[in-house]
Amino acid sequence: MWNTCLVNKSTNWLDQVIELDIEKVAHGGIFVARHEGRVVFVSHVLPGEKVKARVYEDKGGSFCRAEPTEILVASPDRVKHFWKNAEQAGGAEFGHIKLSRQRELKSDVLSEALQRFAGIEMRVPVLAAPGDDENNGLGYRTRIQLHVNEDGDVGPYRERSHEVVRVKTLPLAVPEIQELGLHLKNWQDVKKIEIAASSTGQIQYTVDKKLKGEEKFLERAGGRTFRLSAGAFWQVHKEAANVLAKEIVLLAKAENFDKNAQNYDLYGGVGLFSGALAAAFGLDIQITTVEASKSAAEDARRNLIDIKGAKSVATPVERFLDELASHGELKPNSTVIIDPPRSGAGKHVIERLLTLKPDHLIYVACDPIAVARDLAPLTEGGYKISSIKAFDLFPHTHHFETVVSLVR
């Protein structure tokens, strides 16, 4: 943690403009500088830059937050932001950074999280999704959320506010969403618009949760077709489902996946990973997918109905593991996949997994600190990391996915 033992806690710099040398990136897409013994978190800058920044939040104590007002010395990795008039919009906070440098910064964040929370010294490169380098990380989002102000103007929220940034383009969206043109219309008496485009060419959108377009979505990934009910979760990046499904299969093959063992797909959603394993190892595999959402679990049941040994259970993962762990360890050669929410699997789930002792554990994570925190007790409990890979499935943001393979 930051060394702040000499800080005067009565110090307050709110609305002051200070000159800063930016040191490094931190979790959450912000950057770190120091001034008069305090840490200053700054957005929209780069390591190595010298900037003037206005303090917009200061509650006293060891740190404050600031935004740049002038770039005095720019990084060679700084580029013109791709989204005109929406530079400060949420969801594009890395848009001022060269794409290759974005991935290096994400790798920095992952390395620091692994070291700080799990004691793991490892540099993991963050890999590009297919097509992103050629398209400069644009045109990838298959899911978009837009907000509407009192005048009917449409756009994303400005960072740290509920102010709508009116936009004329949606450069991160796939062409099908851009061509729909909903962001160009005036929407009186509307608060939010959500748009989704499937890999099979369908379009669905909701206006204040009222569904328009296709009610049932079909997605194609991992060698299979998946049906999604309205509002069901699916990966945002158009290549993400295939990238992650392919990695799951590769890791399963590397550890000699036993299709007749006790295999589980926890937080399984609509059955993506279970389906990908069936496509790779045969429709007679034994696998149980567990999902708290009843509608998603029902989608999974339908999507996996041709897989002889597949089951879909609609229950919270914690409750399912409590029951499973009451019977002791899993049978030999078992594989468990976990893809928890951003907050991670957490203590309860990790403790149950340590009781069950699956031979192979695959952890898919969208937050580096959450997965690092969960890896610490797993490695202390006898697991060894056989692989860590990271994928840049959210270009121009600070987010990325990490996939970890652990064996006993």
Catalytic residue numbers?
A: 366
Strands 335-338, 264-266: pairing kind: parallel
The single-letter code of the amino acid at 198 is S
What end-to-end distance do the CA atoms of the chain give, in Å? Answer: 32
Contact predicate 90/158, CB 8 Å:
yes
**Separation between Cα atoms, residue 177 and residue 195, nearest integer Å:** 7
**Separation between Cα atoms, residue 367 and residue 5, nearest integer Å:** 29
**Separation between Cα atoms, residue 230 and residue 182, nearest integer Å:** 19
Which among 59, 47, 57 is positioned nearest to 20, based on CA atoms?
A: 47
Contact predicate 98/81, CB 8 Å:
no
**Separation between Cα atoms, residue 319 and residue 211, nearest integer Å:** 32
What are the beta bridge partners of residue 65?
41, 57
How many CB atoms within 10 Å of residue 299?
24
For 24-182, where are the alpha helices, taking DSSP H only? 99-118, 175-180
How many CB atoms within 10 Å of residue 353?
27
**For the residues of 285-308, what is the DSSP string, one character each?**
-EEEEEES-HHHHHHHHHHTTT-T
The 3-state DSSP class for residue 195 equals strand
Beta strand extents in 161-285 (DSSP E only): 192-197, 203-207, 210-213, 217-221, 224-228, 264-266
